[in-house]
Structure 1
Amino acid sequence: MRRRALLGAGGLAALAAGGAALAADDPAVRGPAAAPGPPGRIPFHGPHQAGILTPRQACARLAALDLTPGADRARAAALLRAWTVAAERLSRGEPPGEADADTGVALGAGPASLTVTFGFGAGFFDRTGLASARPPALAPLPAFPGDRLDPARSGGDLFLQVAAADPFAAVHALRALQRIARGAAATRWEMTGFTRPSGTGAADGTHRNLMGQLDGTANPDPAADRAQRDRILVTGPDAPGWLRGGSYVVVRRIRMLLDHWEGLPVHHREQAVGRRVTDGAPLTGGTERTPVDLDAARPDGVPVIAANAHIRLAAPKTNSGATMLRRGWSYYDGPRPDGAPDAGMLFVAWQTDPGTGFLPVQHRLARGDALARYVEHEASALFVAPRGAAPGEWIGQALLEG
């Protein structure tokens, strides 16, 4: 076995069976500006993985890998040990630690607010002989009306979310992790996303998508509300130790039919969403952050927010409190063979349980969302992210060594 498979063997402490409590002053919640260390550094170690509650960075590289035939539990553990070492070094702006994994692309970039977040797909548990430990919430997502999913760009045994303020840092980190994985896992799919840099454009936490609408306005605020954080991170006392502090992530590639959408009058687009294009305020009035009045009606009795408006159907109030933290990015991959733009959103949503988060909302949207005629869901995946690693531990250690 190559040297990378032996990294950390025998020298790493076992993960505490009960996990760790979420720190109220967690720097990954406060964001990169408050994190200790060099400017732009987001600590890798912690009770939950960086990149879940972290404020969204400008660049993202998402990838899924499949374990290679014959890659057993021991090989998967060796890979995760090596990945943990590399990701921690990369988050400090340093080379990944293995000479053959570093291309020098990001020399001088510094930490660049880089985060690497790891997840496991359902197949990971089968391939490593851990099917009995696979959580019930990791059940396959159902087919939704209108889905046109490409199996080659869906699913996967392992998930990598690499996000940074600098695109060179993100590309360099993902390439390094892929090189380390050679012989143990092969890339199944890869996607690239972008948004505006932090501090520019819209209010903090929101960004404009390629439909021209502000996105993320109704996101929960885990930094200010512990109850909302508990709907994003797995904190229940019945959760296994390896998962307590982790989260589930749904990844969807949603192509926007921009040629059709951009030809609509502005007021039609606003009615479909339920918000003004200019400032993201709900059509019921106020500013972007003003709560939507779903009961408001015009003098003729017609609801101000249409019955099929996106924000009505997606609102927690109309979905029994279903909550997700969306950290999606836009993508633009040029023209398709038919000349239409291959562009849209990489929907990335974190939650404590997809059965009470993504699933009820998507079922409702699929039955009548006004935006449905202007988008196509082309890829889909569900992963579980284990809890974070303390110094001396590696991601997934409690699961794979338990």
Structure 2
Amino acid sequence: MPDQSLPEAPTPATRSTRARAPESPAPAAGPDGESAQRPASAESPAKDLTRRRLLGAAGASGLVLGAAGAAAGYATAPARATPLSSVGAGQAMFHVKHQPGITQGLQARGHLVAFDLAAGAGRKEAAALLRRWSETARRLMAGEATAHDDTDVARDAGPSSLTVTFGFGNSFFTRTGLEKQRPVALDPLPAFSSDHLDATRSNGDLWVQIGADDALVAFHALRAIQKDAGSAAKVRWQMNGFNRTPGATAHPMTARNLMGQMDGTRNPKPSESDFDERIFVPADSGKDPAWMANGSYAVVRRIRMLLDHWEKLSLKAQEQVIGRRKADGAALSGGTETTEMDLEKTDANGDLVVPLNAHARITRPDQNGGAAMLRRPFSYHDGIDPDGTPDAGLLFVCWQADPVRGFVTVQRKLDRGDALSQYIRHESSGLFAVPGGAAKGEYVGQRLLEA
């Protein structure tokens, strides 16, 4: 769907001073209210000419990535390669129908952070905090400096497709006296056999997801959000993640995880007729409160990959665990990456080519009553344990209109016999209600906090 024409964005070089100048009109969104992205090209004619020559036919376009992943994988690659020299120009809009950071593609750097409201802080303090956070997110996503005491960490960078997303945990509603507005879908997740959860790194009153295609831009946003919390809230836990930088490969391709597997072939796409009903809460759902209209539920899991054990497997054994070829992501039943998996195909011995316990078979929506979720994770590496074991894996983030029908349904199926389960360990968990995007003049969560 084509976007409306957008005004030019300021150049990255003006980032640290734009907060002091009169603000330009808010950028336009796409015709359907979704986020639009645009290039930054307010450079001098000579610089602009040099830039165009450098970028060639690929242009200096902002990133426009595919939808994030399904139960079987990660976000898909962009429709065309993005030159590294244009990475900073990508811009996501803040005032959109659904909050930014959900349907955008994988970002090169991410931070997940949960906060607990301070003792004595309640609804009034939470509203003031969300108002501050929303304004900071809006400014930073536009490539501007923060309103007060900017650290200049991102002075030389463009927006770099920065997204900032806010959500509420189950405990938030008790702390603010809003128990009657708490969605039933926020009931605690059930326990699973693969859980080895650390309570200090799970849940939280408030959750913030930050993503960008530049590490300094992402850190700048993280630091600004933390400073804005002031005395109203304190950090409960924080995790850092990464993905491949857009433009790092010779051509667009599906992402790989730290196990080296292509993952994201069967991602739900916005073009699918039932995409919205599976991922976003409708305005008239009948079971969700009105303030959750156009929102989604995020399940967040820190999943450690037992890489030392995984890497001892032969290539064939790894492919049997996943159910797809490692080289190109094609199903073991044959064809290309996008060829439909033949679940009934057998080999010369009469054995199923795609094993019954293969991860890709078990997670298919058609094997789970149509359950699907929009996966948009980050990989992580938090160092080496004293015994030499890497503390690395996946910061799993998935989105769905109903977490019971989405994540819980699929995870229960995995619990009963996923071949991958012996090579991973779930170490932390959270479930958050993420309201719809803020309209111009609003802050995120205003329809809850000021109802």
Query: What's the TM-score once normalised by structure 1's chain length?
Result: 0.90
Q: Would you say 1:280 and 2:329 are equivalent positions? A: yes
Query: What's the TM-score once normalised by structure 2's chain length?
Result: 0.80
Query: Offset at 1:144?
Result: 0.3
Query: Offset at 1:140?
Result: 0.4
How far apart, CA to CA, are the structure 2 residues paired with 1:144 and 1:385?
A: 24
| CA deviation vs aligned residue, 1:72-114 (integer Å, no higher than 9, x gap) | 1000000000101100000011112122xx2111111111100
Query: Offset at 1:300?
Result: 2.9
Q: Would you say 1:290 and 2:298 are equivalent positions? A: no
Query: Offset at 1:203?
Result: 7.3
- 8 A Cα contact 2:303 2:424, kept in partner: yes
How far apart, CA to CA, are the structure 2 residues paired with 1:288 and 1:363?
A: 26
- 8 A Cα contact 2:183 2:289, kept in partner: no
How far apart, CA to CA, are the structure 2 residues paired with 1:226 and 1:98?
A: 44
Residue number in structure 2 paired with 1:60 = 110
State the AA in 2 paired with 1:26. E
Residue number in structure 1 paired with 2:359 = 310
Q: Would you say 1:78 and 2:78 are equivalent positions? A: no
1:306 to 1:202, Cα distance in 2 relative to 1, 3 A: farther
Query: Offset at 1:229?
Result: 2.6
Match for residue 282 of structure 2 among 208, 232, 235: 235
3-state DSSP of counterpart to 1:168: helix
State the AA in 2 paired with 1:117. T
How far apart, CA to CA, are the structure 2 residues paired with 1:301 and 1:339?
A: 42
Query: Offset at 1:40?
Result: 0.9
- 8 A Cα contact 1:32 1:42, kept in partner: no
| CA deviation vs aligned residue, 1:276-296 (integer Å, no higher than 9, x gap) | 110111101111122211122
Match for residue 218 of structure 2 among 170, 176, 179: 170
Match for residue 26 of structure 1 among 34, 48, 55: 34
How far apart, CA to CA, are the structure 1 residues paired with 2:108 and 2:244?
A: 6
Q: Would you say 1:42 and 2:50 are equivalent positions? A: no
How far apart, CA to CA, are the structure 2 residues paired with 1:204 and 1:377?
A: 30
Query: Offset at 1:336?
Result: 1.3
How far apart, CA to CA, are the structure 2 residues paired with 1:98 and 1:163?
A: 22
How far apart, CA to CA, are the structure 1 residues paired with 2:64 and 2:104?
A: 11
Residue number in structure 2 paired with 1:11 = none
Matches within 5 A, 1:93-172: 93-99=143-149, 102-172=150-220
Residue number in structure 2 paired with 1:3 = none
How far apart, CA to CA, are the structure 1 residues paired with 2:215 and 2:417?
A: 37
1:82 to 1:25, Cα distance in 2 relative to 1, 3 A: closer
Residue number in structure 2 paired with 1:248 = 297
Residue number in structure 1 paired with 2:18 = none
RMSD of Structure 2 on Structure 1 (CA)? 2.0
How far apart, CA to CA, are the structure 1 residues paired with 2:241 and 2:433?
A: 21
3-state DSSP of counterpart to 2:165: strand
Length, aligned pairs only: 376
How far apart, CA to CA, are the structure 2 residues paired with 1:29 and 1:291?
A: 32
Residue number in structure 2 paired with 1:335 = 384
Query: Offset at 1:301?
Result: 2.5
Q: Would you say 1:198 and 2:246 are equivalent positions? A: yes
State the AA in 1 paired with 2:326. V
Residue number in structure 2 paired with 1:90 = 140
Larger deviation, residues 290-299 vs 342-351: 290-299
| CA deviation vs aligned residue, 1:305-344 (integer Å, no higher than 9, x gap) | 1011001111101100001010111111111133200000
- 8 A Cα contact 1:29 1:55, kept in partner: no
Query: Offset at 1:28?
Result: 5.2
| CA deviation vs aligned residue, 1:141-160 (integer Å, no higher than 9, x gap) | 11100210111111111111
State the AA in 1 paired with 2:172. F
Query: Offset at 1:227?
Result: 1.2
3-state DSSP of counterpart to 2:404: coil
Query: Offset at 1:366?
Result: 1.3
| CA deviation vs aligned residue, 1:221-269 (integer Å, no higher than 9, x gap) | 12x1241232111125134332111100001111111111101100000
How far apart, CA to CA, are the structure 2 residues paired with 1:277 and 1:48?
A: 34
How far apart, CA to CA, are the structure 2 residues paired with 1:175 and 1:25?
A: 29
3-state DSSP of counterpart to 1:103: coil
State the AA in 1 paired with 2:35. P
Query: Offset at 1:23?
Result: 5.6
Match for residue 372 of structure 1 among 421, 433, 446: 421
How far apart, CA to CA, are the structure 2 residues paired with 1:328 and 1:241?
A: 28
How far apart, CA to CA, are the structure 1 residues paired with 2:154 and 2:449?
A: 32
How far apart, CA to CA, are the structure 2 residues paired with 1:316 and 1:243?
A: 25
How far apart, CA to CA, are the structure 2 residues paired with 1:360 and 1:192?
A: 27
3-state DSSP of counterpart to 1:74: helix
3-state DSSP of counterpart to 2:414: helix
1:150 to 1:132, Cα distance in 2 relative to 1, 3 A: same
Query: Offset at 1:201?
Result: 3.6
State the AA in 2 paired with 1:46. V
Q: Would you say 1:183 and 2:231 are equivalent positions? A: yes
- 8 A Cα contact 1:205 1:217, kept in partner: no
State the AA in 1 paired with 2:194. G
Query: Offset at 1:299?
Result: 3.4
State the AA in 1 paired with 2:448. L
- 8 A Cα contact 2:295 2:436, kept in partner: yes
- 8 A Cα contact 1:207 1:214, kept in partner: yes
Residue number in structure 2 paired with 1:388 = 437
3-state DSSP of counterpart to 2:372: coil
- 8 A Cα contact 2:35 2:100, kept in partner: no
Query: Offset at 1:304?
Result: 1.0
Identity of aligned residues (%): 53
3-state DSSP of counterpart to 1:344: strand
